[in-house]
Structure 1
């Protein structure tokens, strides 16, 4: 059985020197050193030059070859829980030194070499433990403030839900009221419509009967006039003068009848 030192030795071979965790998509550089593809890519982007974080060798092109052996080794170590990232302290990706300081100005972790760099000159630093304590207190205060705000917002939410419920209930009541009112209004209008239509029909029947009666009278007068016209025409067609004079008296009576008919027409037309 392999000793703990042996296990630790081959486990270290499966760890990326930048992220200090088991390799993910490991690649090998031209110098022979291995890194996670994402780790070395980010390192080159930050450094703005293609160089090895281990030996410092620079490369003209970004040539990354997949390391299948390391990929299998890392998967095996990861599956057997042989290494945990939190067991090792974090290191600076640029200088491979332990991160011991926190820059309050830039809000980032630094190693002692980073802190001495020109870009951090006159910045405010503190040890990580102290920074953690201070920021934990700040976070705790923020949590308490947010918890209080959350409680207030929850109360507002409940009140708003009650308001919405009240508005919906009032709306339902108004709808029911309006529906009942319009049903009653429709009933009233329907009854009034039927009554008016009945009165109109009755008046129309009355007028129609009167007009039919006058029409009958007009037709009777027309028949009388037409009949008298026929009689007069027959007398006018009489060739015998003696016979024509004999019926003069009747003719005179007929003319009187015409005047009577004319008067009857005037009455009807009025």
Structure 2
């Protein structure tokens, strides 16, 4: 814990109080406080020439390059990058140690402390890099197989879409044909109906005329 606090303490010394980031081209004011050159310049463009820390005013701008602080800031920047790189590495949840081995028996990544535990006694271990090479081919083979299956499924899907499209076209065509045929049949039936009605009326006229003639004869008698 003390080591961690010491690390944070010396890196904080390399942070600019204006931008809250590591110093870039740090300069010192006459009061002894330090800032990035660009930060203090921009600050003084908006306000009078005074120290943002202690508020001491200066009649003239006198910025002195602080090379020692520049070197410290560069070291702090690299240190933080290395810390982030370490944090990105895989660590054992139980022991907080870096995972360096692959347990072939349990098929899982473990740390050196896990290797010596009872849980993994008499298990087979190999370095992670070696395990990656061994299982890489298997993963590639599985990926190729999945890619092939995906391609087959997509091809079948495309074929089904084409069939659905064909069925819809056939259905539309059949509906149009049925409508056309029924229209023709309706027209034929209408014509027959009109012809039957016309023939019926003509026959009716004939019968009525004949009956009228007969009626006229009877009246004369």
Shift in alpha-carbon separation, 1:203–1:117, aligned structure 2, 3 A: farther
User: Whole-Å Cα distance in 1 between the matches of residues 217 and 120 of structure 2?
Assistant: 126
**Gap regions ≥5 residues in structure 2:** 12-79
User: Whole-Å Cα distance in 1 between the matches of residues 9 and 216 of structure 2?
Assistant: 128
Cα deviations by residue, 1:80-105 (Å, 9 ceiling, x for unpaired): xx446444433222222221122233
Q: Within the alignment, does 1:179 sit opposite 2:179 as a pair?
A: yes
Shift in alpha-carbon separation, 1:11–1:131, aligned structure 2, 3 A: farther
Q: How much has 1:144 moved relative to structure 2? A: 1.7
The 3-state SS of whatever aligns with 2:126 is strand
**Gap regions ≥5 residues in structure 1:** 1-5, 14-81, 221-263, 265-270
TM-score by length of 2: 0.51
Q: What is aligned with 2:154?
A: 154
Q: What is aligned with 1:136?
A: 136
Cα deviations by residue, 1:157-183 (Å, 9 ceiling, x for unpaired): 333333233223322322222222122
Q: How much has 1:189 moved relative to structure 2? A: 0.8
The 3-state SS of whatever aligns with 1:96 is coil
Query: Over aligned residue pairs, what C-alpha RMSD do you find?
Result: 3.7
Q: How much has 1:192 moved relative to structure 2? A: 0.8
User: Whole-Å Cα distance in 1 between the matches of residues 103 and 214 of structure 2?
Assistant: 118
Shift in alpha-carbon separation, 1:12–1:116, aligned structure 2, 3 A: farther
User: Whole-Å Cα distance in 1 between the matches of residues 107 and 215 of structure 2?
Assistant: 113
Q: What is aligned with 1:37?
A: none
User: Whole-Å Cα distance in 2 between the matches of residues 188 and 12 of structure 1?
Assistant: 104
Cα deviations by residue, 1:118-153 (Å, 9 ceiling, x for unpaired): 333343322211112222221111122222223333
Q: 1:59-78, aligned counterparts within 5 Å?
A: none
Q: What is aligned with 2:126?
A: 126
Shift in alpha-carbon separation, 1:213–1:132, aligned structure 2, 3 A: same
Q: How much has 1:191 moved relative to structure 2? A: 0.4
Q: What is aligned with 2:68?
A: none
The 3-state SS of whatever aligns with 1:98 is coil
Q: How much has 1:212 moved relative to structure 2? A: 7.2
The 3-state SS of whatever aligns with 1:126 is strand
The 3-state SS of whatever aligns with 2:102 is strand
User: Whole-Å Cα distance in 1 between the matches of residues 84 and 135 of structure 2?
Assistant: 23
Q: How much has 1:187 moved relative to structure 2? A: 0.8
User: Whole-Å Cα distance in 2 between the matches of residues 135 and 205 of structure 1?
Assistant: 103
Q: What is aligned with 1:10?
A: 8
User: Whole-Å Cα distance in 1 between the matches of residues 101 and 10 of structure 2?
Assistant: 26
User: Whole-Å Cα distance in 2 between the matches of residues 124 and 165 of structure 1?
Assistant: 57
TM-score by length of 1: 0.43
Shift in alpha-carbon separation, 1:111–1:216, aligned structure 2, 3 A: farther
User: Whole-Å Cα distance in 1 between the matches of residues 204 and 105 of structure 2?
Assistant: 101
